[in-house]
Amino acid sequence: MQYDYGRWWADIEGDGDAAVITFGSATAPVREAIARAATHGVHARVVALRLLAPAQLDRLGAALEGVTRVLVVEQNHSAQFYRYLRSLFDLPSHTTSFHRPGPLPLRPGELLSTILNWSRA
C-alpha cells in the first residue's frame, strides 16, 4: 500500500528559472539567503524536502518545472544529498552543489555569497 504524503513531502516557495534544493537544518538559512538575494535582483525557488525516501519523483519534477539551474545546499562532508538527487532525478544540466560539514551551522551570509556567484555563473 502506498501512503499519500500530500503536500507535506516538501515546502516549495518562490518562482523563477532557478531553484535551490535543500533539507533539514539548512532550510532556514537558505530561506533567509534567498530573501536577501532578492534585494540583489536574484530570484529563485526554494524546494525544501521534508521526505527524502521514498523519493517523490513526479512531485519534484513538477516543483522544478521550468527550472534551468539548480543549486543543492546541504550540510555534510561529501555532498551525499546532491549525489542522492542526481541518482534518482533528471536534474537540469546546470546543477551544482554547495556542501560543508559541521559542526558550525550554515549561515545566511555565506549562502548569499554562494547564491549570488552561482546566479552569475
Q: Which residues of 64-94 are buried (b: 16+ CB within 10 A; e: fewer)?
A: beebebbbbbbbeeebebbeebeeebebeee
Integer Rg of the chain from CA: 14
Q: Tell me how many degrees the CA angle 29-35-36 measures, rounded to the nearest 5.
A: 90
Model confidence over 43-84: pLDDT tens digits? Answer: 999 999 999 999 999 999 999 999 999 999 999 999 999 999
Inform me whether the pLDDT recorded for 98 exceeds 90: yes
Does 31 fall in a domain?
Answer: yes
Does 1 fall in a domain?
Answer: no
When divided into structural domains, the chain yields a total of 1
Give the CATH number for residue 65.
Answer: 3.40.50.920
Does 45 fall in a domain?
Answer: yes
Does 102 fall in a domain?
Answer: yes
Q: Are strands 45-49 and 10-13 parallel, antiparallel or unpaired?
A: antiparallel
Q: Which residue has the higher pLDDT, 7 or 97?
A: 97
Does 13 fall in a domain?
Answer: yes
Inform me whether the pLDDT recorded for 3 exceeds 90: no
Model confidence over 9-22: pLDDT tens digits? Answer: 999 999 999 999 99
pLDDT above 90 as % of the chain: 89
Domain housing 34: 6-120
